[in-house]
Structure 1
């Protein structure tokens, strides 16, 4: 079966071929003929089954080669990431026709989205909140919508968007062509379909996550020590034939730490998690899809909508909460008939979770394999070249700007980077933040004016008590006049002694005495 045999217009067939998409998936074979005829459809399918082109190609074709300006088709999705993904797929299909697709979602400036709407975009892909926002401001009209799609409806239900979806339906004409796609069909979704759809036909796509998972995915389950896990992952990432890799972490903090660690080890890694703004997440996803980054580290929430066909490995840095989450994660690989490898690390405290997953998915592996970075089975299981270590190159000692490079997790052990700079912002006013007291809270009490000009011993905070007597005497003679004319100040000038001379204050003495200011002796 080909797209031409499914009666898809030749310009779209060619546009798909330009991206190596030559044969339709089963969900597309079932959906396209019905959708082209204007039949309302309920499609039960998950991300990765090819449903986007299943509803997208008929939607585009029904608008015509040169549709009039204005919104005529609406695709509603639960997340920003999925909105971007669907938009990109539809833009592939419309490459050779005068149809414009625009993404509408929160976390991004209104201006660009509004400009595209005013320019006459015909297809809108958006999240419920931002769509209703623009409708409320009368910046988006849905009165001309002829084609409407709800994608991943069950996720929108989980996220509390059901009432928003009903409001969007109310903004569209009563007569329209409607398609709804959902991985599961909970009661509220069924009720929604009955209320807003006309005699829909139910299509169930082959689920890639059913049963024990696809036969083309290998599952490896290890119990590794936390102190050794980064090294193990570093070696896995050097496996023969490894392509794009997705690593799942349980928390945002773990994702941020791991991307820094792997980058430090010489790998090309990016991260998507909740602490990043939308632009940063989009940039990371774009780099991953384009191959500029071949490792994507993600939390479960941020990973929604990730749909990249050439992922060869999935690594669960920490075990998922249950079997459904496990299937969702490992389903990022082994797509479109390709092979994939899923590696799961189980911590001691999570053995009970693995027992439940193992039982639910009938793996027959009650105990994860105890694994170290030097374990021979690690190399054979994943086809890692002998002698590989978890680092691609030596760690740089300096950053590109010339500043010393800090190892991940080393904060708090060294004095502050700006300590004692003696210039801008009070000579490293932040010196020692998160480090030891030796960094100096004021970084050597630098001049707040930023000039960094200091007198006597204050300018050199590292001068030790072992300075020769001759040097000390010379310094005292050179500053005797200054010491007699200038009073001691909070700015850090040398304190005058009883004999009228000013002697340089030893920073080491201050540190050993707990930072108390020495007083003049009689």
Structure 2
């Protein structure tokens, strides 16, 4: 006998019944018929029913009845002071897809009364949700993480909540949401109505109910002709298939004659992405929904699936609950589910609201023990699945696949627009793989939630400017030229600084800070000691410095009877300097008579080349008569480094020289071999 119960006879508001009748919903399902009288009375309820039997309206209609809106004040059912902008009812769900599904159903049922329902879940920008809360919301449907975030920021007020619903409570426990759910419940008023709904009700959910519910009524609804855990109008097929043959097998199953929309479930995210890609290459309009995708891409695939642009949806268990899409005829378990609860929720995506469907499960050889546990728990007759391949005749016969079907969809049948035809909505995603913001709960996105995604400008490379001794290269070269000019005129400058200035391409890391030049006055006693350290420095400045040196000035040196020609010393090239040893300077006390001063000047390289220097004798000491006084020699300040080139000869004792000798004039040797010239 057919039931004549309607929603109007169950005592719901006329506006709610009118909204349901507008979409063709007039007769309640068993879970709705049994739950509404108890829930409308304000009692706590634990509802349990199979997937696809209308649990959402089973708790949604009583929830809408407890909300006071402006239409109730106009109808005289409530006082104006009962209105509130903060939420009056709260629904907590485990997944984002289920959050969207419940929100859509509540909006449909509360359309005539204009009930404001807001979905709050992660992966979207905070700003639109916060703005909607400021404008006023009657019912909030959300996931635990985002609800705690907004409540902690004082954006969401839960002090006016009159009814709480925990949908798919067993899934929230499995995902580890129990601590978050307990925090949310602690924020609610103590006096409220609490309802728990799920297709499976493990012992942990019953313990949660006893802790937070007051004398709940446990309602388990089944149809009279529907025995067992699964829905009777779903045809189940279990095949033992090889993993390498599964893509070909699935491609042929998808070409069955009576196939509408199809959902393929995988255990891992990587497998789901791979199967979707392979099906797309075979010509099928496929989309993917899994945790590695951003929220925008997940919603794009679901919209394309509902709109018919995509007829194959490959997903993980995130879409196993709450997805209610009309026209799903086939559900394929590409991989064996983890347990019997997951199996029930997967195949429950088809055969919904009294429709028929087909559920196909492909079991690997390694998954046979797992499947046998599921089969035993659900009391199914498929303990030993039949070995099946993509070419097996019984596969074509059982599923209605035309003969000669191959694993590639013919081009004539590729009529779907595909996933690319559905635009991706900019949700201002926060966290996850599809966003740029920081990951984790409470992380804010680096972009504004309402602004379009913009690319960052290209980074300008840093330009490096070569400097020498802390100054630009051009300034350093100018300073080097000035230093060379100073040395040319006879001023003192340190040899290392000149060497650095004359090096045109010295590496930057070898540059040193300029040193303060020390003025050194050369003495005969210290000439030999400084010769070794100053010889290398003269090698760099020998040619450029002496090129502009002034001509030497000669002064006569006289003895008692006749004037003597003073000795003239010039610089030698750095290459000849090591060949001439440095003679020791005579002590000042051994010279009894004053000597004529010798004036030493620098000699240009050109002059040294034209006038050859005399060869140095073995005993170069200048001799002078003891009784004849000598004109003292006048020495000019020379660069300390020049003494390494032409060392002073050793002086002979004054008492051994009996007769005066003509002084020898020494000049600097050129880079060529030296020649002897007669003395003046």
With normalisation by structure 1, the TM-score equals: 0.70
RMSD over aligned Cα, in angstroms?
2.6
CA contact 2:226–2:232 (8 Å) conserved in 1 = no
CA contact 2:50–2:222 (8 Å) conserved in 1 = no
Correspondent of 1:70 among 65, 86, 97: 86
> What is the rounded CA distance, in whole Å, between the counterparts of 2:301 and 2:226 in structure 1?
26
Q: Larger deviation: 126-135 or 325-334?
A: 325-334
CA shift, 1:186, in A, is 4.4
> What is the rounded CA distance, in whole Å, between the counterparts of 1:148 and 1:330 in structure 2?
28
Partner residue in 1 for 2:487: none
> What is the rounded CA distance, in whole Å, between the counterparts of 1:319 and 1:14 in structure 2?
43
Partner residue in 2 for 1:197: 213
Correspondent of 2:192 among 157, 176, 193: 176
Q: Larger deviation: 309-318 or 319-328?
A: 319-328
The alignment status of 1:144 with 2:160, answered yes or no, reads: yes
CA shift, 1:341, in A, is 1.1
Secondary structure at the residue paired with 2:248? helix
Alignment of 1:191-270 (within 5 A): 191-206=207-222, 211=228, 213-270=230-287
The alignment status of 1:19 with 2:23, answered yes or no, reads: yes
CA shift, 1:270, in A, is 1.2
CA contact 2:321–2:346 (8 Å) conserved in 1 = no
Alignment of 1:401-440 (within 5 A): none
Secondary structure at the residue paired with 1:256? helix
Return closer, same or farther for 1:229/1:161 CA change in 2, 3 Å cut-off.
Answer: closer
Q: 1:311-351 CA distances to partner (integer Å, 9 max, x unpaired)? A: 21111112223333323322222222222111111223223
> What is the rounded CA distance, in whole Å, between the counterparts of 1:232 and 1:391 in structure 2?
11
Unaligned regions of 5+ residues in structure 2, if any? Answer: 71-82, 418-680
Partner residue in 2 for 1:163: 179
Q: Larger deviation: 109-118 or 310-319?
A: 310-319
> What is the rounded CA distance, in whole Å, between the counterparts of 1:249 and 1:78 in structure 2?
19
The alignment status of 1:384 with 2:401, answered yes or no, reads: yes
Alignment of 1:121-520 (within 5 A): 121-206=137-222, 211=228, 213-394=230-411
Secondary structure at the residue paired with 2:9? coil
Q: 1:21-57 CA distances to partner (integer Å, 9 max, x unpaired)? A: 2211111111112222222222223542311111111
CA contact 1:76–1:128 (8 Å) conserved in 2 = yes
Partner residue in 1 for 2:650: none
- Find runs of 4+ consecutive structure 1 residues off by over 6 angstroms: 207-210
Correspondent of 1:85 among 101, 109, 118: 101
Return closer, same or farther for 1:318/1:193 CA change in 2, 3 Å cut-off.
Answer: closer
Equivalent pairs counted in the alignment come to 397
CA contact 2:144–2:181 (8 Å) conserved in 1 = yes
> What is the rounded CA distance, in whole Å, between the counterparts of 2:114 and 2:236 in structure 1?
46
Return closer, same or farther for 1:141/1:254 CA change in 2, 3 Å cut-off.
Answer: same
> What is the rounded CA distance, in whole Å, between the counterparts of 1:380 and 1:85 in structure 2?
36
> What is the rounded CA distance, in whole Å, between the counterparts of 1:216 and 1:186 in structure 2?
25
> What is the rounded CA distance, in whole Å, between the counterparts of 1:174 and 1:366 in structure 2?
49
Q: Larger deviation: 302-311 or 232-241?
A: 302-311
> What is the rounded CA distance, in whole Å, between the counterparts of 1:191 and 1:349 in structure 2?
35
CA shift, 1:366, in A, is 4.2
> What is the rounded CA distance, in whole Å, between the counterparts of 1:215 and 1:358 in structure 2?
16
CA contact 1:317–1:345 (8 Å) conserved in 2 = yes
Partner residue in 1 for 2:433: none
Partner residue in 2 for 1:419: none
> What is the rounded CA distance, in whole Å, between the counterparts of 2:34 and 2:188 in structure 1?
27
Correspondent of 1:39 among 27, 32, 43: 43
Secondary structure at the residue paired with 1:271? strand
Return closer, same or farther for 1:138/1:182 CA change in 2, 3 Å cut-off.
Answer: same
Return closer, same or farther for 1:157/1:321 CA change in 2, 3 Å cut-off.
Answer: closer
Partner residue in 2 for 1:409: none
Correspondent of 1:114 among 130, 141, 144: 130
Q: 1:221-269 CA distances to partner (integer Å, 9 max, x unpaired)? A: 2233434322221121121221221111122111111111112222221
> What is the rounded CA distance, in whole Å, between the counterparts of 1:142 and 1:47 in structure 2?
30
CA contact 1:49–1:205 (8 Å) conserved in 2 = no
> What is the rounded CA distance, in whole Å, between the counterparts of 1:334 and 1:188 in structure 2?
29
Partner residue in 1 for 2:540: none
> What is the rounded CA distance, in whole Å, between the counterparts of 1:362 and 1:198 in structure 2?
34
CA contact 1:209–1:331 (8 Å) conserved in 2 = no
CA contact 1:59–1:147 (8 Å) conserved in 2 = yes
CA shift, 1:140, in A, is 0.5
Return closer, same or farther for 1:375/1:12 CA change in 2, 3 Å cut-off.
Answer: same
Return closer, same or farther for 1:224/1:116 CA change in 2, 3 Å cut-off.
Answer: same
Q: 1:417-464 CA distances to partner (integer Å, 9 max, x unpaired)? A: xxxxxxxxxxxxxxxxxxxxxxxxxxxxxxxxxxxxxxxxxxxxxxxx
Return closer, same or farther for 1:55/1:4 CA change in 2, 3 Å cut-off.
Answer: same
Return closer, same or farther for 1:34/1:323 CA change in 2, 3 Å cut-off.
Answer: closer
CA contact 1:267–1:392 (8 Å) conserved in 2 = yes
CA shift, 1:129, in A, is 1.6
Secondary structure at the residue paired with 1:348? coil
The alignment status of 1:99 with 2:115, answered yes or no, reads: yes
Return closer, same or farther for 1:159/1:87 CA change in 2, 3 Å cut-off.
Answer: same
Q: Larger deviation: 249-258 or 185-194?
A: 185-194
> What is the rounded CA distance, in whole Å, between the counterparts of 1:356 and 1:197 in structure 2?
33
> What is the rounded CA distance, in whole Å, between the counterparts of 1:219 and 1:139 in structure 2?
48
With normalisation by structure 2, the TM-score equals: 0.55
Q: 1:365-391 CA distances to partner (integer Å, 9 max, x unpaired)? A: 443333333332222111122333222
Partner residue in 1 for 2:610: none
CA shift, 1:88, in A, is 1.0
